[in-house]
Structure 1
Amino acid sequence: MQKSPDLSPWLAQALPRIRGLEPTATYGYAGELLHDDGRSDMDAHGARVADLVIRIGEALLAYGAPAEESVAGMLITAESFGLSHVEPSVTLHSVYVSGCAPGVLTPVHASRVIRKHATDFRTLARIQDLVSAISTRQVSLAEARKGAAVILDERAPAGRWARLRFPVLTGLVAAGAGLVFGGKTVESLSALLAAVAGALLCGVLGRHGVPAFYRYALAAMPAGLTALAVHELVPDTSSQAIVVAGVLGLLPTVTFVSAVQDSLTGHYLTALGRLFDATLVFTAVITGVVVVIGLGAMVGLDLPMSPSITHGGFTGSATVGVIVFAVAVAARSRARTQDRLPAAGIALGGYSVLVGLGALGFSSLAATAVAASTVGAAGQVLARRRRGSGIALVVPGMAPLLPGGTLYLALTDLASGRTPAGVGGLVHVAGVTLTLAVGINLTGECAQFLRQVRGAAARRERGGARIVS
């Protein structure tokens, strides 16, 4: 009797296997019986399946999915088309799979190097939908290969907007962040201009092959230069809002959060790769800003050494800033249009929790943990209702929770020669970001735990019913 497909979401379906929660006897074969289906060349069939699996794994990892989700997508795809003894694996820059086609003794192997990563939630969602269709046997192998080719071989947009899209959206990210971190119209517009200039500079250098450290160090300098100029011309401005908002679009927050998530799920090589990548970019951004502020201090252009506020509270401008911030992050990450307003609502809820707990006297770590858990839970609930991934909702939702005031204080300490205080501030920033990452990941793990408990209880009930009968 042919096995009926499992209609549960493909990620929840694969996680027990990936985490070793099922007996090893189930690891050999999970797809349809394909031994006698009219195809005489199972070697060629296995090669076609392996090629599709590699393309899907590469796309999932390259466009922003965590390592565990990428492995799950590869496993489900391979087994849905009949491969047995499937062993997928990923690192930050490569994907690999091996498996056996029906009736073939020699395993098929495939691997690919990932040379470029880009946060593209729209393409990621299309790949996830394709994996979902594969897992429920809605498409044939030929249709799945054609669908993957349509998605992944699509020609990139051309024209002036295609070149300016990322810098403009980065500027809007900075404009929203400027309002979130206590700035007004002048500070928001100044941060917008600084971020656009930095993103344009980073893009030009990247197209000429300049290494990431130098690109991001130079791209961070316009934020410091703009803050110095505006503070000199308009002394009453909130300099910390300009500096922090101007560099937030450059900070590798998503990479750091993904590194924490990969380490928590046991993908340590990928986690280390992401962590080193994030640390390099973070160090470059800090270096660029500190150099500018330090040089400004040498010529008598001093910025205030401590921020007056860390967030804008519950003011109208801060609320507008949170919405602009989240929507701009979602748009820059190419999230689907229908995901942008929900992401803004999640961001507003998380920000309200953060500011409210801060007003009640909670520490920044405790307030961030609760706010991050709120964002993660809301993203999981919405994603569950849509039977998809919550990453496109959670990433924009967490953006306003970043510790901007602490970051500014650490930068000014480093620029003024107070190295121990500056390093301590950066450690605190890293601690808050780590708390943010763990809090966001916690809700997903709780949901997975509850699914496992319910599944185990259901299996026990079915076993008891069979014994009674």
Structure 2
Amino acid sequence: MDDEVRELNLTIDLCLRIGEVLLSSGAGAADVTATMQSVAHHLGLRRPDTDVTFTGLSMSYQRSPEEPPIVLLRQVKQRDIDYDILTRVDHLVRDVLAGRLDLFLARSQMATIVSVPRSRRRWAITLGWGVMCAAVAFFLGGNVVVAGTAFLAAAAIDRLQLLMSRRRLPTFYLQVAGGFVATLFAVGVASTDLPADPSLVVTANIIMLLAGIGFMGAIQDALTGFYVTSGARIIEAMMATAGIIAGVSGGLSVGALFGVSVGRFDPGRMLDVEGLAIVVVGSAVAAAAFAFSSYAPRRSLAPIALIASGATAIHALVIAQDIGRTWAAGLAAFFVGLVAYAVAGRVRVPPLVVAVSAIVPLLPGLSIYRGLSLLADGGSGTSMGLLAMITAASVAIALASGVILGEYVAQPLKKEARRLEDRLAGPRLVGPLRAKGRPR
């Protein structure tokens, strides 16, 4: 093998490794494609063919029509969310494109990034999930008992899912277990005389379980023309959500066997404008705790908290005007997308880290639990339960599409974004803004 072919193989392999980290971290297929194309172009590959699917990446390059193409494939492994690795890879890509790293230094740094121990202790991540659920319980109107129970349930869910994932169980079963454990904690509270609303415990933990689902990547892929990858991600999101529903309904059934009712949460309680301060502070803490649990760099936690608090305030005020939950979620997410790009640039993280974390408090855990409790009642509540489930789906779509629309508007407003080179990729949530080497 001559030196030119060897360097070509190393270049393609680097691009595939970068793409694997981005795709497994929730980046859209368009962003992954554009990033891989940009790195390849900078390292001397003109117009390589790149294919991105949900479970695999491929890149091929043909030096001349007389020679066979070189094709490399890489399987995308399922990873836990790690925004620290995503941020480091994003910085590596920018250094390569700026000429600060050559091929061999970039490969060395890439190997270091994916092999070094994670930046936080695992017990700290468990505490982070607990703080997140406790904060959600507070801004939904819960007291100290509810927040404490939600904290303990979140810690138990995280540890159980960690144990199950080490045994390579599919995500569906992890979600079933999470929903079941959350409901059992709520049933335990309901069986006592403690002054607490156990339904808030379930709702808070549902939001925790929803937080890791890649709704945004699925919608972004659908909007940018990567329909196969979008379809796969949507199916994954549906299976994960179905697991939550199955687990919660199973827990409710156990409670019914013992004559214990968890109850149904009244969604109007969290929309009281007089309690807006609690909602804003609680959502800020929840978003920052999620970012912390996802290994986001510490410098990004405070900005994420501020953006989440602003988005939640918009959401609550819009709902107070009887406009509807879906439009309220969409407008709040649009605000997140609008400011995430500028804020992410200042704290040196990909906009994806800021956007996903900031919309966590707005995830439709309330609608899912309300729908399940209505379906469990049967009779006339069945139709209302189905409507609540449809509302949950529409809220999830509104959140993802609202963030992406905000990015569409925000990026061209930046001076360095006046001439977007690749309209197919749409707003860039990760990777370089300017994509080079794309075939026209």
TM range, smaller chain: 0.7 to 0.9
Distance in 2 of aligned mates of 1:185 and 1:237: 8
Give the conservation status (yes or no) of the 8 Å contact 2:279–2:313.
no
Q: Which runs of 5+ in 2 are unaligned?
A: 422-440
Distance in 1 of aligned mates of 2:126 and 2:382: 32
Counterparts in 2 of 1:84 and 1:397: CA distance versus 1, 3 Å = same
Distance in 2 of aligned mates of 1:315 and 1:383: 26
For residue 454 of structure 1, report the CA deviation from its aligned partner: 4.2
For residue 48 of structure 1, report the CA deviation from its aligned partner: 1.2
Counterparts in 2 of 1:294 and 1:196: CA distance versus 1, 3 Å = same
For 1:292, the equivalent position in structure 2 comes to 251
What is the aligned counterpart of 1:393 among 354, 359, 383?
354
Which structure is larger by alpha-carbon Rg, 1 or 2? 1
Distance in 2 of aligned mates of 1:330 and 1:361: 31
Let me know the Cα RMSD of the aligned residues: 2.5
For residue 296 of structure 1, report the CA deviation from its aligned partner: 1.5
Higher relative contact order (CA 8 A, sep 6+): 2
For 1:119, the equivalent position in structure 2 comes to 81
Give the conservation status (yes or no) of the 8 Å contact 1:252–1:281.
no
For 2:6, the equivalent position in structure 1 comes to 44
Q: Which amino acid is the alignment partner of residue 54 of structure 1?
A: L
What is the aligned counterpart of 1:128 among 57, 79, 90?
90
Mapping 1:305-316, distance limit 5 Å: 305-307=264-266, 309=268, 311=270, 313=272, 314-316=275-277
Deviates more, 1:385-394 or 1:396-405: 385-394
What is the aligned counterpart of 1:381 among 330, 339, 342?
342
Give the conservation status (yes or no) of the 8 Å contact 1:183–1:238.
yes
Once the two structures are superposed, residues 42-67 of structure 1 have per-residue CA deviations (whole angstroms, 9 ceiling, x without a partner) of: 11111111111111111111223221
For 1:91, the equivalent position in structure 2 comes to 53
Distance in 1 of aligned mates of 2:280 and 2:198: 20
Deviates more, 1:49-58 or 1:248-257: 248-257
Q: TM-score scaled by structure 2?
A: 0.88
For 2:419, the equivalent position in structure 1 comes to 455
Counterparts in 2 of 1:43 and 1:422: CA distance versus 1, 3 Å = same
Distance in 1 of aligned mates of 2:212 and 2:398: 12
Distance in 1 of aligned mates of 2:402 and 2:243: 27
Give the conservation status (yes or no) of the 8 Å contact 2:179–2:251.
no
Say if 2:379 is the partner of 1:420.
Answer: no
For 1:13, the equivalent position in structure 2 comes to none
Give the conservation status (yes or no) of the 8 Å contact 1:307–1:408.
no
For 2:238, the equivalent position in structure 1 comes to 279
For residue 179 of structure 1, report the CA deviation from its aligned partner: 1.0
Distance in 1 of aligned mates of 2:65 and 2:42: 16
Give the conservation status (yes or no) of the 8 Å contact 1:181–1:309.
no
- 3-state SS of the aligned residue for 1:111? strand
Say if 2:185 is the partner of 1:226.
Answer: yes
For residue 71 of structure 1, report the CA deviation from its aligned partner: 1.0
For 1:168, the equivalent position in structure 2 comes to 127
Counterparts in 2 of 1:341 and 1:449: CA distance versus 1, 3 Å = closer
State how many pairs are aligned: 416
Once the two structures are superposed, residues 188-211 of structure 1 have per-residue CA deviations (whole angstroms, 9 ceiling, x without a partner) of: 111111111122111112212223
Q: How many percent identity over aligned positions? A: 28
For 1:464, the equivalent position in structure 2 comes to none
What is the aligned counterpart of 1:323 among 271, 284, 288?
284
Counterparts in 2 of 1:47 and 1:308: CA distance versus 1, 3 Å = closer
Once the two structures are superposed, residues 380-405 of structure 1 have per-residue CA deviations (whole angstroms, 9 ceiling, x without a partner) of: 22124457521111111111122343
For residue 40 of structure 1, report the CA deviation from its aligned partner: 6.5
Give the conservation status (yes or no) of the 8 Å contact 1:64–1:121.
no
Counterparts in 2 of 1:308 and 1:391: CA distance versus 1, 3 Å = closer
Distance in 2 of aligned mates of 1:386 and 1:104: 48
For 1:62, the equivalent position in structure 2 comes to 24
For residue 450 of structure 1, report the CA deviation from its aligned partner: 5.9
- 3-state SS of the aligned residue for 2:210? coil
Say if 2:295 is the partner of 1:334.
Answer: yes
- 3-state SS of the aligned residue for 1:309? helix
